[in-house]
Amino acid sequence: MRLYLAEIGAAIRVSVADRTNFTLMAGGMVLNNGFVLLMWWMFFAGFHRVNGWQLPDMALQIGILAVTLGAAGVFAGGCRDMAAFILRGELDAYLTQPSALLPRLLARESLTTGWGDIATGIVLLAFAAALHRTDMPSILFVLMGSFVVLLATAVVFASLAFWVTGARSFARDLIEFVVLFGTWPGSIWSGATKLLVYTLVPAGFVVVLPVRFLRQPGLAEGLMVVGAALAYAMLAVLAFHVGLRRYRQQGV
């Protein structure tokens, strides 16, 4: 953990060193998020409800997604191109070192755009999601769960590179699907699509379940948040280390 903190601290300092680039990248992400929010504001201005969801519920969902996505980019930005890193054989240099490998891969990079996502999410949660100060512990709880599920999913997708040569674009596309599904009202999913967003593309655990927990707090929903985080984290660690073992054997 000490090594991870040192490396991600260095990566963050590098990402913010060029103030002009930082402002353009982070500001551009805020502007991009603003267009998404404008689209949903116009939609709910005309239709008011989508299967029980209103504009504050949509703001809550997008706020959770933005903070989660931004935190993953800032504090574990290496997950974005981890598949490419594996496919290029750059993992070999890390294998000669005794330190834990996965945390170091995640700390290789900090994405400047993540700060724009975090800023957008905080503004939405504070001013548009119909939350109260007393909700703060619950917000932090669901944000932590969402962060773990999203990051674990990214690691699982990137670990496909140990088996599939085309995993670089495939892994990034799958994460884009998580983000895409996370920007649509959680109340619309049903049947096969609901199964999809709670399994392979777990937008349900990243944003929909957290919204449900914040709107209707309950022990069952809280346990599901914790259970999903633990399950996806264990799956990520397993997928990475099984793939790493195969990578080592191929190298030998």
For the segment 68-103, what is each residue's pLDDT rounded down to a tens digit?
999 999 999 999 999 999 998 888 888 887 678 999
> Residue 252: is its pLDDT beyond 60?
no
Choose the weakest-confidence range: 34-38, 96-100, 150-154.
96-100
**Domain enclosing residue 63, as ranges:** 2-251
User: Which pLDDT score, from 0 to 100, does residue 219 have?
Assistant: 95
For residue 50, give the 3-state DSSP assignment: strand
Average pLDDT over residues 11-16: 94
181-198: pLDDT as tens digits = 999 999 898 888 899 999
| Structural domains counted in the chain | 1
The pLDDT of residue 95 is 85
| Residue 188, C-beta contacts closer than 8 angstroms, at least 6 positions apart | 50, 51
Contacts of 125 (CB under 8 A, 6+ apart): 60, 63, 64, 67, 131, 139
Can you give the pTM of this predicted structure? 0.94
Output the pLDDT for position 251: 62
